[in-house]
Every structure is written in C-alpha cells, then in structure tokens.
Amino acid sequence: MKRLVPTILLLITGLLSAQQTPANKGKGKGRIAPPSLTSETLSHEERLYKTTPQGELRLHFSFPKDWKAGDKRPAIVFFFGGGWKSGSYLQFVPQSDYFASRGLVAASADYRISSIHKTTPDKCVEDAKSAVRYLRAHSRELGIDPGKIISAGGSAGGHLAACTALISEFDAESDDKSVSAKPNAMVLFNPALNIDELAANRDRKDAIPMAERITPNRHISADTPPAIMFFGTDDALIEGAQKYLAKAVSLGLRAELWTAEGQAHGFFNRAPWTQVTAKAADEFLASLGYLNGESTIKLPEGSGSLKRE
C-alpha cells in the first residue's frame, strides 16, 4: 500500500488540476470564491460519522427550513476534489445549501487525504462508502428516504462518489455491512473514471493493480444507478466519461454527459458554470422524482450553455 503514494497519487494529481476555490486554495489574490446559489435561510449541523486511526470525520449538513426529524426526504452527499491529496468540504457548501433550499437533506463530507492523514486512495473510497452508509443507517433521525440517496462530487470527489456506487471492495471494519453503501443516483463533476488507463498510458505498472480496483469504469453493471456527468471539453479526463457513457448506454442504464465547450478541469467551481451545472443537476434529479417544481437558480446574463453528448 505504501507504494500508492508515489504512484497513483502523483499520477492523478498532475491531471486533476487544482481546484481554485476557498475549499483548498484559500482566498488569496486571484482566487474567486464560488457563487452562492441560494439566499434562503437554512439550518446547519455537523455530525461525526466515522472515527479512524488518523482522526474523526464529519458530515456537514444543510437542512431545509421546514425540515424535521421523521421526514422522508431525498438526500445528497458531496465529496470534494483535490486528487485525494488536499481539499475541504467547503468546496461544495454552495451546492449543498442550494439543494437543501430545494427540499433535500444535503451534506458535504470530510474524508482522509494524504496531505493531512498520510493515507492512500483506497482509504478515501472506504470513507466515502462509510458516509453513504451513515446517511442510510440514520435515515429516520435525519428525515431521509433511504431509497433516495444521491452521491455527488468533483474531480477526485467525483471519483469517490462513483466508487460508492460501483466498487464492492474497501469497506471499513467498523461499518455495518448489512447497510448498503450504494447510492440511488449520482451527480458527478469531472470525475476521474478511467484511472487504470491513465496508469497504463504512463507506464506505471506498479500502480496498475490498485488502479484497476478503484476504477469505476471497470465495474459498471446492470444495477448501476442513474448518473449525470459534467465536463469541460478541454479536460483530459473527459475520455473516461465518454467510455462510461458508451458502456452505460449499451447496458440500458440512465446516464447523461453534459459538456462545456472550451472549458478545462474544475470549470464548475466558478460563475457562471457553478450556476449552470447546478441547474442542470436540479433538472436531472427532478426527472428522477427527487425534486419538485422548477429550479430557483437565476443564471447570470450571458451564461454559457451545456451540450448533451
């Protein structure tokens, strides 16, 4: 496992461009905070979902203003980007707040990262699965419908969100395995889906065995849940999404790939693309019956548009 740090981490981190958000870059010169997506007053709460040898992990919740325990609402959990190396739950607070304003129980998750916890990507996958299990196991007190849980995330976090649906390995010893870690839908912002090919193309034979085990594209099956994916056309990782889409369509699965012309990795972190992608995700979830009514997002004048592939 120790070899994963100089192999997979370095391999993927170079391709997963640094997310220019306060989540992992601060608010220094040239850093633009992602725009707020709602002005609605919400309630917030942190809950410990897992204790690991490297520290405690929390879910940072946004609750609808009319939420109460005993509700049966869909839930969404976001995983931040940063190449499994850096980042913070703060990246997806705007989206979390927005979907809470639309009636979902929303959360942004901590997970172990190499810069702080000195862990490897398999532990990131393990933590993401634990987070989904926590939502399902505590669905009654959280007011969640356990049959309507959405995993979401960007870049490496999008990879983790996909892994919760597709990877059967890497369950924490402390998890109750009788509780499913598989979400019912996925919202993925430029996720890394073809890690095995990236490793092979760079002649990193030592990285390939583990890369294959955590490559979502290798594990698509007939029971894979619906997914929507967002990519800039200039993102090197889009090839993985195109292959995911082709395989999903061949199996008769619900999968959508939306692209932004000329945009690079991480484009969804800044206006107007934060608003554009959140609105498209809203429409996707509404089509699944997870949201009611129209999106409340007002797109900035002159916003770009997404194209469905």
**Number of CB atoms found within 10 A of residue 111's CB:** 27
Nearest to 192 by CA among 254, 125, 131, 273: 125
Which burial class, exposed, middle or buried, applies to 53 when counting CB atoms under 10 A from its CB (0-12, 13-18, 19+)? exposed
Please tell me the predicted confidence (pLDDT) of residue 2: 45
Chain centroid to CA 130: 14
Check the CA dihedral 112-113-116-119 and report its sign: positive
Answer yes or no: is 27 within a domain: no
Answer yes or no: is 17 within a domain: no
Answer yes or no: is 34 within a domain: no
Answer yes or no: is 30 within a domain: no
Answer yes or no: is 22 within a domain: no
In sequence order, the 6+-apart residues with CB closer than 8 A to the CB of 162 are: 151, 186, 188, 191, 193, 216, 227
Answer yes or no: is 287 within a domain: yes
Chain centroid to CA 225: 14
Nearest to 158 by CA among 116, 98, 94, 109: 109
**Domain CATH number, residue 182:** 3.40.50.1820
Please tell me the predicted confidence (pLDDT) of residue 30: 41
- Domain range spanning residue 171? 2-11+41-308
> In total, how many domains does the chain have?
1
pLDDT digits (tens, 9 = 90+) for 178-236: 999 999 999 999 999 998 888 787 666 666 788 889 999 999 999 999 999 999 999 99
In sequence order, the 6+-apart residues with CB closer than 8 A to the CB of 138 are: 144
Answer yes or no: is 62 within a domain: yes
Answer yes or no: is 19 within a domain: no
One digit per residue, pLDDT tens: the chain, 309 residues?
444 444 555 555 544 533 333 333 433 334 456 789 999 999 999 999 999 999 999 999 999 999 999 999 999 999 999 999 999 999 999 999 999 999 999 999 999 999 999 998 999 999 999 999 999 999 999 999 999 999 999 999 999 999 999 999 999 999 999 999 999 999 999 999 998 888 787 666 666 788 889 999 999 999 999 999 999 999 999 999 999 999 999 999 999 999 999 999 999 999 999 999 999 999 999 999 999 999 999 998 889 899 999
Please tell me the predicted confidence (pLDDT) of residue 26: 37
